[in-house]
Every structure is written in C-alpha cells, then in structure tokens.
Amino acid sequence: MRHLLFVLNPISGDIDKSALEATIADFCTGHGRQARFFHTSGAQDAAKLRTALAHHSYDAVFACGGDGTVNLVAQVLSGTELILGILPLGSGNGMAKDLGIPQALDEALELIWRHSVSRVDTLRIDGHFSVHLADLGFNALVVERFCSSATRGPSTYVRIATQEYLDYEPATYRIQTDRELFEGPAFMVTMANGRTFGSNVVINPGSRLDDGEFEICIIAPFAGTAALGILYQLYTEDFDASAYTQRLRCWWAEIEVVGQQQVLGQVDGEPLQLTTPIRTEIIPRSLRILTPPVAE
C-alpha cells in the first residue's frame, strides 16, 4: 500500500487544516509512501474524484474529514476493489468511531502499514448512498441547522438541539419492512447501518456493518420529563430499555411520512430533501475499508 490519495475537506470539524497536507506528505515520505491530494469544493466533488481516480492508480483513498467526507469517498469506491481509509477530522466522526479508528491523526495514519481490510455493507436511501447512519425527524432538523451554522463542533450541536426541541412537532410514519409493519408517530426515525452518532449517542447498540441487514431505530414522542432518561440510555448503549424506543431489523424498507411528499432527512451528516415513500435497502459487503489490525 504505497500509492495513496488523500481527499481533504477544508471546512469539516472547525479544525485548522492549513498544515495538514504537509503533515500527511511528510509522514508518508518518511515511511516510503507516495501521497497525492484532492481538495473538495462542494461542487461536483464525486464526479471530479472519479476523474482523478481514472487518471492515476492508487492502493487506497483516504477520506480526511467527517462523516460527510467519508460518504463522498465511499460512494465513489463502493462496488470497486479500491480501499477506503479514514482520517477522522470532522465534528463527530461517527463512522470512524464505529470502526475503532483512532481519533488522533498520527495514530490514524499508522493504519497505512498496520491494518486489516474489511468489507462492509452500504445503504441506498431514496436513491442516495449511505455508509453509516441516516434519519428523519428531529435529528435531521438539527443537522440541517448545524450545517448552516457559522460554527461547528459539539457545543454548537447541543445549542441547536436545545433550541429546536422546544417547538418540535413529531410526524406520523408508516414503515413497511420485509418482515413487519410499523404505524404511528415518532420523534425521530434512524436508518442505521452503523451504531454511533458522532456525538457518542449509541442509537443502534450491538449492530454490525457487515451483517447484510440494517436497523430502523424509532424514538416515540415523549414528555419533557422523560428526556434525560432517554438521553442517559442512549449514552450508555441501552437503547432498547426505554418504553419510547424500538428497532426493526430488515434488509429493505419503505418509509412513508403521512401527509408529506417531501421530507427533510440527513444522510451521513448531510441534510437532504427526500421523497416519500422512502425506499431503503442494504447493499451487502459492497465497500472495502481500512480498519485497525485484528488483535492476536
């Protein structure tokens, strides 16, 4: 693994990246690797990345940013034999946390020569690619506000979530999976290939990224007095213990938001307008990804 492309997102995570390219280049040169760089701009990044990959042969492509950058690189590499690496430099880095990738840059870079290569599942959600977590409802609204904010980071997310909670009105959902039907109101509905939001909230404990299935995690509307208890359970990997939560395990689902044709969603940290019913399906073991070495 000697020829590496690093895809850099200059705005992810509110982190100063002015010296990042030089740091990565020096690190790679010192370990006998060749590094090239691709900078995202927010305009036709996927198409431009595919063109860059067509003009040069790489052993791996590293997403240097948050979950949105991981999504970008993963959707380009999905279905190919090229390997995805992650340097977690975003606000939350939920996918990296699920994979056990170190959050410190120098430790994450060490995976270049000490690693395993795993195959993981991906999702298609209303035609959009997802490798980790997507949702409808409250969190999607907070993500949209967060992405429009002048600042990033956990404190900004908490501030926005607190403000939006006071006036939030849950929608009613009809969810048909390959196994069962759910109908009723929900505070939020998460389509989960992974398990952990970047905020360290565990929405889908015990799940695997390579099991050929995904989970739909539902949080029902709740009284304000129950909020702290639910939050505690989410931070202690006890999602299923609450009377307000349930999970549907499936390999495909159609989600209808009653009375709405266009709904706000978020896919791997990026807000999107989705058309209901929202078809979601798993694409088994469609992505090769660099992970920490298996313990002996």
- Per-residue pLDDT band for 157 (boundaries 50, 70, 90) equals confident
CA 56/CA 63 separation, integer angstroms = 17
The better pLDDT of the pair 58, 158 is held by: 58
Q: What top-level class would CATH report for the domain 128-285?
A: mainly beta
Question: Which of 106-110, 172-176, 193-197 reaches the highest mean pLDDT?
Answer: 172-176
85-98 average pLDDT score: 92
pLDDT band at 56 (very low <50, low <70, confident <90, very high): very high
Fold of domain 3-120+287-291? Rossmann fold (3.40.50)
The percentage of the chain sitting over the pLDDT mark of 70, rounded to a whole number, equals 97
With beta carbons less than 8 A apart as the criterion, state whether 251 and 213 touch.
Answer: yes
What pLDDT score was predicted for residue 12?
Answer: 65
With DSSP H G I counted as helix, E B as strand and the rest as coil, what are the percentages for the chain, rounded to 5?
A: 30, 35, 35
Q: Domain-by-domain residue ranges, the chain?
A: 3-120+287-291, 128-285
CA dihedral sign of residues 206, 209, 210, 214: positive
Question: Can you give the pLDDT at residue 152?
Answer: 73
Angle ∠(243,248,249) on CA atoms, nearest 5? 140
- Which pLDDT band, with edges at 50, 70 and 90, does 34 fall under? very high
Instruction: Answer whether residue 26 shows pLDDT above 90.
Output: yes
Q: Indicate the range of 29-33, 242-246, 261-265 predicted with least confidence.
A: 29-33
